[in-house]
Chain A
Amino acid sequence: MLKKSFFGFTKPWIHYAPINKKPQSPISVQPSGTVTYFLERSFTSRANLLLKTGDSVTTGQKLMLCEGDDTYIISAVNGTIADISPHIGEYGKQQTAVTLSCSPEKTPDTAFADAAGEQTLETVKQFLGAIPGGASFADFENADKSIQTIIVCGMDSDLMVATRQHVVNTRLDAVTSGIAILKQISGVQDVRIAVCKDFVQGYGHIGAKIQFVDTVYPSALPKLAVGQVMGQTVPAGKTCLDMGVFLISVEAVAALADAFETATIPSEKLLTLINKDGSQQLVSAPIGTPVRDILAAFNISLQEKDRIIKGGPMTGFALYSEDHPVEPDTDAILVQDGATIPLYSDYPCINCGECVRVCPARIQVNMLVRFLEARQYQEGADLYDLHSCVDCGLCTVVCVSRIPISQYIQLAKHELAQSQAVEAENG
């Protein structure tokens, strides 16, 4: 938990903490009964499905819901399909949850091994879309956005997370060959790797230009990190992809190398488990492992009204169930004791200005939140720079009135994006 410093007139400087000099090795956790995967498509009817309950699945098998889908999951275990059901993700995103009950043996699936001979974008797109770290390789083929630069993210964007840092510190060889593969499949030669200043020592030639990002939160958030690496700010309302920059986690790059070296699809996700007392532990678990199994492996007892967060304390996402699985982009799991959770209040903004001083994007948060509270999202965007926000959450951390500012901002962005999509559809 963060405490306001006694000398409150200065800006709070929250530093990313480097993990110990001697890297701890991750402790492996295996799923005990079931694994769950989310397919990024809505589940409408049971007709014409490729998957059925009771189907048996082998390790590394690619599973698609319907013929011709471009989304798929890769099973990390042997097992049988126990359940297929609709699932609602963040902001009402329609997903399909596929639950497998696992069996102890591991029979490798051979489909990828047959294709792994040639390192092409097509192979990567077909089989490696769900590797640990997560990457959307389809962006390379998106015609209207030509990619000039690939940035390998070796910095953990949230506080207390040490996952990517660990990969950079221990797996540089794999990262080096992963970068070579990336260059080959994409044809992009400008590859840069972004790491936190002072965190990494002793790297040689790895085929990418090493760029440092600042160690004060939120410098390693994607938009701000891209600004530092590219030397130019991402315009408000634009994505990094719009600038021709492709971001990929260093873990995914290492996994890319592993995939072609071993001719199997990697499925062990590295993540930082942050306990209630703030202690960190590196964990390696197959993608799909329920959070429940990870907590049980470290004897973390969960009480009523505790909080489990996928991701770090500033930008994570709270889970409502212990059955939520480890996903390809789950870099951390944070457990909070219910007694220490600060609650939001319904006080209005008192205009103290703490948020304005702390905002890395120089937004007038005090004015913006007045518009957003009144649901005037478009006015907030036009007059008070809603789209400049980088979602760091610092305004909410320092808010004296304890307003859920970040929630208002994210909701406003979501609502605006939706109405724009509808307008585009209607011409």
Chain B
Amino acid sequence: MVDQKKLIVSPAPFWHDGSSIPVRQVHTIAAAIPAVLFGVFLYGLPALGVVCLSVSTAMLWELAANRMTGRAYSIGDGNAALIGLLLAMLMPATVPWWAVIIGTCVALFVGKHIYGGIGGNPFNPALIGYAIIMVSWKGLFDFNAALVNYDFGFNMIYPLAAVKQHGAAAAANYPLCSLLLGMQTGGIGATFGLGLILGGLYLIVRGFIRWEISISFLAGVFITALLFNIANPVKFADPFFHLLTGYTLIGAFFLATDDSSSPVNLIPMLLYGAGAGVMTMLIRNIGAYVDGVVFAVLLFNIANPLLDKIRPKALGKVIDHA
């Protein structure tokens, strides 16, 4: 009995499908890369600077949070890098460095670590960071003002702002094809529609995001925009325009699908996605903000725990009506 080999003993099951958190984060980052590269290609070094600063400071804040809370270092799992990357994708290329650092700080601490780190956050951390700096320094995210020094030969007015001010007629200046190919102003990684769609489809096919959320979000945006458009074609732009402008696509594939702040059952996922889509269009068309994705998704993040109570009856469950 003394010279026995030490065997590994563990509870069943003894297989695992090999998935892990780092793999999931790395694939999400990879799916976002085409849209980011397009932004960097368009805006040059300033955009690259924002992306690098955002990703690196997000990771440093993660490290700081790990040290402060005395937990195992989770900087290597890619989640902080993904939050930094998503935040950078939402911002204009000219955003000042301090705004990026504050944004990632808020995203990591207020958005993620005060709830206990990965998996505990009730909101999408990147959106928390973005929303707080957007509300605090409104001028930074006026894309018309921020990108005034750039001219790439296409319509350089921010599409959603143009439609908000001049009505549906302004949408005619943006051919759908050029919107899809990224010929519009906006956030670094939020304008290249084709890249975002391909990245999103990749994530859906590989099972890294839940297709029900993305599709119902887009459907919510489309149907609400269509109803507005039918009600008043002069004032409200057509639904295809709304699908391809602002943060709609990045919202559908990268923001609303954040794991811990979105539901997991079928009906709740559909309600969540559609609700956020409808809310986006309400804010865009009759709200104060030019784009509504950020607040619509945050709002439905809060609704997530309640929505996820709608669930199928478990096997053999006896409901006691007494």
Q: Which residues of A contact B (CB under 8 A)?
A: 1-4, 6-10, 12, 223, 233-238, 302-309, 311, 313-323, 334, 336, 338, 341-342, 344-354, 356-357, 360-364, 366-367, 385, 388, 390-391, 393-394, 396-402, 404, 406-407, 410
Contact of A397 among B4, B15, B72, B308 (CB under 8 A): B15
Chain A nearest Cβ from B190, distance in angstroms: 24
The answer to whether B264 and A235 touch across the interface, beta carbons within 8 angstroms, is no
Cβ of B21 < 8 Å from any Cβ of A?
yes
B residues 118-164 touching A (CB-CB < 8 Å): 118-120
Interface size of B in residues (CB-CB distance below 8 Å): 50
Complex: A267 Cα to B14 Cα, angstroms: 29
Check: B9 CB closer than 8 A to any chain A CB.
yes
User: What chain B residues lie within 8 Å of A393 (beta carbons)?
Assistant: 12-13
B40 CB, min distance to chain A CBs, angstroms = 29
The 10 closest A-B pairs by CB, nearest first: A8-B207, A353-B264, A393-B13, A385-B314, A361-B315, A342-B16, A407-B11, A388-B314, A4-B17, A350-B119
Are A348 and B116 touching (Cβ within 8 A)? yes
Contacting pair A313 B14 (CB below 8 A):
yes
Q: A2, A317, A348, A404: which contacts B15 (Cβ < 8 A)?
A: A2
Residue from B118, B207, B265, B318 within 8 A of A350 (CB atoms): B118
In the complex, the chain A residue whose C-beta lies closest to that of B312 is: A362
Judged by a CB distance under 8 angstroms, whether B321 is at the interface is no
Chain B residues closer than 8 Å to A316, beta-carbon distance:
12, 14
| CB neighbours of A318 from chain B (8 A) | 7-12, 14
Q: Which of A12, A223, A353 has the largest number of chain B CB atoms within 10 A?
A: A353
Alpha-carbon distance between A234 and B316 when the two chains are bound, in angstroms: 6
* Closest Cβ–Cβ distance, residue A339 to chain B (whole Å): 11
- Cβ proximity bits B109-121 to A, threshold 8 Å, 1 near / 0 not: 0000000111110
Contacts of A238 in B (CB 8 A): 316
Chain A interface mostly: loop
Report whether A406 and B314 are in contact in the complex, using a CB–CB cutoff of 8 Å: no
A-B contacts, 17 of them at CB < 8 A, read A8-B19, A233-B315, A233-B316, A307-B7, A307-B9, A313-B13, A320-B9, A347-B21, A350-B260, A351-B261, A356-B264, A356-B265, A363-B314, A364-B265, A396-B13, A398-B19, A410-B11
Contact assessment for A322 and B11 in the assembled complex, using a CB-CB cutoff below 8 Å: no
| A308 surroundings in chain B (CB, below 8 A) | 7
Q: Count the A-B residue pairs with Cβ separation under 8 angstroms: how many?
A: 193
> Measured between C-beta atoms, what is the minimum distance from A385 to chain B in Å?
4
Return B301 CB to nearest CB of chain A, in Å: 12
A236 in contact with B5 (CB, 8 Å): no
| Docked-complex contact B20 and A348, CB < 8 angstroms | no
Give, as a whole number of angstroms, the nearest-CB distance from B77 to chain A.
8
Give the distance in Å from the alpha carbon of A311 to the alpha carbon of B13 in the complex: 10
Cα–Cα distance between A238 and B4 once the two chains are bound (Å)? 41
B269 to chain A, nearest CB (A): 8
**A347:B118 contact, CB within 8 angstroms:** yes
Q: B166 — which chain A residues lie within 8 A by C-beta?
A: none
Tell me the minimal C-beta distance from B322 to chain A in angstroms.
15
Kindly state the separation between the CA atoms of A51 and B124 in the bound complex, as whole angstroms: 67
Contact of A9 (CB < 8 Å), options: B118, B204, B315: B204
| Contact A319:B9 (CB < 8 A) given known A6-B206, A9-B206 | yes
Does the CB pair A2–B312 fall under 8 Å? no
CB distance from B41 to the nearest CB of A (A): 29
B22–chain A nearest beta-carbon distance, Å: 10
Q: Tell me the nearest residue of chain B to A367, going by C-beta.
A: B308
Cβ of B185 to closest chain A Cβ, rounded Å: 34
Known: A2-B15, A351-B261. 20 other contacts (CB 8 A): A9-B206, A9-B207, A9-B211, A235-B318, A238-B316, A306-B7, A306-B8, A307-B9, A313-B14, A318-B7, A341-B14, A342-B15, A345-B20, A347-B119, A353-B263, A354-B19, A362-B315, A364-B264, A394-B13, A404-B11
Contact partner, A236, options B11, B20, B207, B318, Cβ 8 Å: B318
Closest chain-A Cβ to B297's Cβ sits at a distance in Å of: 16
Q: Mark B1-41, 1 if CB is under 8 A from A, else 0.
A: 10011111111111111111100100000000000000000
**Chain B residue contacts of A338, Cβ below 8 A:** 8
Q: Are B264's CB and A304's CB within 8 A?
A: no
B171 CB, nearest partner CB in chain A, Å: 34
CB contacts (< 8 Å) of A348 on chain B: these are 116-120
Residues in A with CB closer than 8 Å to B10 are 307, 318, 341, 344, 404
Chain A residue at minimum C-beta to C-beta distance from B305: A367
User: Once bound together, how far apart are the Cα atoms of A360 and B312, in whole Å?
Assistant: 12
Q: From A409, which residue of chain B is reached at the shortest CB distance?
A: B11
Please pick, from A4, A323, A350, A406, the residue contacting B259 in the complex, using a CB distance under 8 A: A350
